[in-house]
Amino acid sequence: MQAEVRTQMLRMWRVGLLSGLALAAAPAHAFIAYVSNEKGNTVSVIDTESWTVTKTIKVGQRPRGIESTRDGKFVMVAVGDDDTIQVIDAKTQAVVDTLPSGPDPELFTQDAAGKVLYVANENDNTVTVIDLEKRARLGDIQVGVEPEGMTISPDGKTLINTSETTNMAHFIDTTSRQIVANVLVDARPRFAEFKHDASELWVSSEIGGTVSIIDPVKHEVIGKVTFEIPGLRREAIQPVGIGMTKDDKTAFVALGPANRIAVIDTATRKVTKYLLVGQRVWHMAFTPDEKYLLTTNGVSNDISVIDVAAQKVIKTIQVGELPWGITIAP
């Protein structure tokens, strides 16, 4: 292993000398993706160089929300029917601990430092705050009915939670843990994502069939992305997961039973392309180098790999039953 690294570095150094562009010439990095399989009660581990499943980890009941810790040492997965979040050691790829979430955790987000975790608990209309180091519960925040989508503003000051039956995005001050604003969006808001420059918050509405674009300062909906696919009835278009490129120019939205990912030009807020993926696509994750976007296709039990620059689906990987969430270690 060490010898391999040394050879690689030596080669990089040589190439660097030759071209003067050491970084650009570095070989593509292999990353590890973790996929939660809601029905299979497993997490599939995927190597992004060979594009194969290298391991299947047994976890608790109904794994859904899944995220890497900021340092990449652990992967956290919400196992809703066991009312907890399990912690997987990235090195040993085994479950090593649990976190004291509230009942039926589904999605969660962490602050920039990776110290505080915020969990949406669907069953009791609360967001639970957890200290990640001490693995202890710090408190709860009352929100709307069936909290789901969770994200945090780039400056870490505002936590966003969406509630599926209340149909709102709740803006929560992370210091006072108080709701400071509520913005009504279309029916069943599932997912929230900030632009990296914090200028806009995007919220997908699964049943409403739209993505609302919210001004996070004025707390107002300033635009809406709509979808239309020839030959598909409106009810089949159910936006869920959102991915935003680092330059904030392109957004990808998973359209559920429409079996497509919409590619959106964020300047015009219009769909430029629909990419056909697997069945009932819900969530997605970029590789850290942003070359690839991986999507979870629940009903076809697979993952689609999208070449981000080419905006093309290049591969499909079979995983466990009903893949739901995905995270890629940094």
Residues in contact with other proteins by the rule CB under 8 A: 104, 122-123, 125, 144-146, 163-168, 170, 179, 182, 184, 187-188, 206-209, 233, 235, 257
- At residue 211, the 3 state secondary structure works out as strand
| Nearest CA among 281, 209, 191, 197 for reference residue 245 | 197
| Nearest CA among 83, 65, 178, 70 for reference residue 133 | 70
Instruction: For 37-86, give the DSSP string.
Output: ETTTTEEEEEETTTTEEEEEEE-SSSEEEEEE-TTSSEEEEEEGGGTEEE
Give the single-character DSSP code of 28.
P
Give the shortest CB-296-to-other proteins separation in angstroms: 17
Q: In whole angstroms, what separates CA 292 from the centre of its chain? A: 14
Q: Is 190 left (phi over 0), alpha (psi -120 to 50) or beta?
A: alpha
The upper half-sphere exposure of residue 81, i.e. CA atoms within 13 Å in the direction of its Cβ, equals 9
Give the shortest CB-235-to-other proteins separation in angstroms: 4
Report d(CA 38, CA 164) in Å as an integer: 19
Q: How many CB atoms lie within 10 A of CB 33?
A: 25
Of 40 and 144, which CB lies nearer to other proteins in the complex structure? 144
Of 135 and 224, which CB lies nearer to other proteins in the complex structure? 224
Of 88 and 254, which CB lies nearer to other proteins in the complex structure? 254
Report d(CA 54, CA 46) in Å as an integer: 6
Give the shortest CB-164-to-other proteins separation in angstroms: 6
Of 153 and 165, which CB lies nearer to other proteins in the complex structure? 165
Give the shortest CB-147-to-other proteins separation in angstroms: 10
Give the shortest CB-51-to-other proteins separation in angstroms: 31
CB 306 within 8 A of CB 312: yes
Give the shortest CB-80-to-other proteins separation in angstroms: 9
Of 26 and 232, which CB lies nearer to other proteins in the complex structure? 232
| Pairing of the two strands 323-328 and 168-173 | unpaired
Tokens found for residue 241? 């997961």
Of 48 and 298, which CB lies nearer to other proteins in the complex structure? 298
Give the shortest CB-257-to-other proteins separation in angstroms: 8
Of 287 and 301, which CB lies nearer to other proteins in the complex structure? 301
Of 209 and 216, which CB lies nearer to other proteins in the complex structure? 209
Give the shortest CB-142-to-other proteins separation in angstroms: 9
